[in-house]
Structure 1
Amino acid sequence: MIVIKGIGKTQRGATLVVALILLLVMMLMASTALQSNILQSRMAANLQDQTVAFEASETALLYAEEWLASLNVAPELTDYESWRPGDAEFVFDSRKRSALQDQLNQLPTVKNWVDRARPANDFNSTDVARVYEQPRVSLEVIDFSPDDKTTGYAYGQESGVITFRQHGRSTGVTGSSEVVLVSEYRKRFR
């Protein structure tokens, strides 16, 4: 303890010790508040990045739906396992089982799906802005319901309703967020 001798009274310096303790407490509070603000800023940035990824993936699905709506005849189908890079067909026949869904359910094999998916700007010439990489879309036929169910039928030769499943994948601005959306689209072909 510090003892200060002055005129008339002896002072012990307790005020200095209390002031130093209060200063230490205020520094700890400021440090905690700063760390909390940094954490909240990171969380907000991650949420914004995830929102951009979601919106880009949704836009890619809308582009694919617009493309399907513009078709006059049913698209040619390909088998998922027999597809090779450079093949013109990219709508997969998944009426028996969904190989695309199987691939997406196994995380290490997602690259196989990405290789077979089309960039969104294949369906619409407008690039999706503010994303790390352009979103990708895959299309598969999951059901064909012919108008005339009394006769034998084959895909693309009879009029009917085709149900397509679309998988859209996109990243956010930084590339650290990834969103995969799945939707279905039905269209009648004559």
Structure 2
Amino acid sequence: MNRNMKYCVGYQQGATLVVALILLLVMAMMASTALQSNVLQSRMAANMQDETIAFEAAESVLLYSEGWLSKQTALPDLILYDDWSAGSSEFVFDGRTSSKLKKQLEDASLVSGWESRAKQVTFFDANASVSSKLHAQPRVSLELTDFDLDNKKVTGSYSSGGSTALFRQLSRNTGATGDSEVILIAEYRKRFEY
């Protein structure tokens, strides 16, 4: 009887070791999976924050350019796409025939050409605070897309001469890392009296 008990006790001690090792392996795999999940969630949160920073920068530069347009008393000087050069003082493009700026923004290989023509937020407001969190300075480009002279023959027309211009604003900005990119397109209608 003693021999059988010794044999069973020895056999069970080996099985306990194998079961313990298997449980340890399972727990290590669960910990590894939980760690990977936490790292993935952390990256997702960082990407969302970077995208939010890029969106806010793009929106702020649109607001600054709208403020600049609202202060203009006359239609800004326009420049044709083919006449533009790096030294051009005009930066509002005449886009009534086509929107080359929009096409450049949609084609990633042409973005550098758009950036050379776009204006930074500090152009519109010298006191504009540009966040140091941004990878690149926010930029916006303006183009005239429609221009209507007042029609005096229409009943209820304005008493003085004037015109209405429709501007398209294109803003492309990156977040803090440069990995996120936001492109916003807005339109701004302005009435000019003369």
TM-score surpassing 0.5? yes
Q: Helix, strand or coil: the match of 2:83?
A: coil
Helix, strand or coil for the counterpart of 2:166? strand
Identify the residue that residue 120 of structure 2 maps to in structure 1.
119
Do residues 52 (structure 1) and 53 (structure 2) align? yes
Q: Which has the higher helix share?
A: 2
Q: What residue number does 1:141 align with?
A: 144
Query: Do the aligned residues in 2 keep the contact of 1:127 with 1:134 (CA within 8 Å)?
Result: no
RMSD: 1.8
1:42 aligns with 2:34: no
Number of aligned positions between the proteins: 179
Which residue of the partner structure matches residue 15 of structure 1?
Answer: 16
Q: 1:145 to 1:6 in 2, by over 3 A?
A: same
Other-structure match for 1:132: 135
Which residue of structure 1 lines up, in the alignment, with residue 30 of structure 2?
A: 29
CA distance in 2, matches of 1:149, 1:27: 82
Paired residue type of 1:135: P
Shift in Å at residue 49 of structure 1?
A: 0.2
What displacement does 1:9 show?
A: 5.9
Please identify, of 125-134 and 62-71, the stretch whose mean Cα deviation from structure 2 is larger. 125-134
SS at match of 1:10: helix
Q: Deviation at 1:47? A: 0.9
Per the alignment, in what secondary structure is the counterpart of residue 148 of structure 2?
A: strand
Deviation at 1:48, TM superposition (A): 0.6
SS at match of 2:191: strand
2:168 corresponds in structure 1 to: 165
- In structure 1, the partner of 2:111 is 110
TM-score by length of 1: 0.88
Distance in structure 2 (CA, Å) of the matches to 1:101 and 1:175: 21
**Partner SS for 2:81:** coil
Structure 1 ranges of 4+ moved more than 4 A: 5-9
- Cα gap change, 1:6 to 1:121, in 2 (>3 Å): farther
Point out the more displaced range, 141-150 or 68-77: 141-150
With the length of structure 2 as denominator, give the TM-score of the two structures.
Answer: 0.87
Q: After TM superposition, give the deviation of residue 106 of structure 1 in Å.
A: 2.3
Q: Is the 8 A contact 1:141 1:163 kept in 2?
A: yes
Cα displacement string for residues 14-57 of structure 1 (whole angstroms, at most 9, x for unaligned residues) = 11211110000000010011011101101110111011001100
Deviation of 1:74 after TM superposition, in Å, equals: 1.0
Q: Give percent identity, aligned residues only.
A: 53
Deviation (angstroms), 1:96: 1.3
> Aligned ranges for residues 63-102 of structure 1 at < 5 Å?
63-102=64-103
**C-alpha separation in 2, matches of 1:120 and 1:138:** 10
The DSSP-based 3-state class of the residue aligned with 2:82 is: coil
Partners of 1:179 and 1:63 lie apart in 2 by 17
The residue that corresponds to 1:187 in the other structure is: 190
Decide whether the 8 Å contact of 1:119 with 1:135 is kept in 2.
Answer: yes
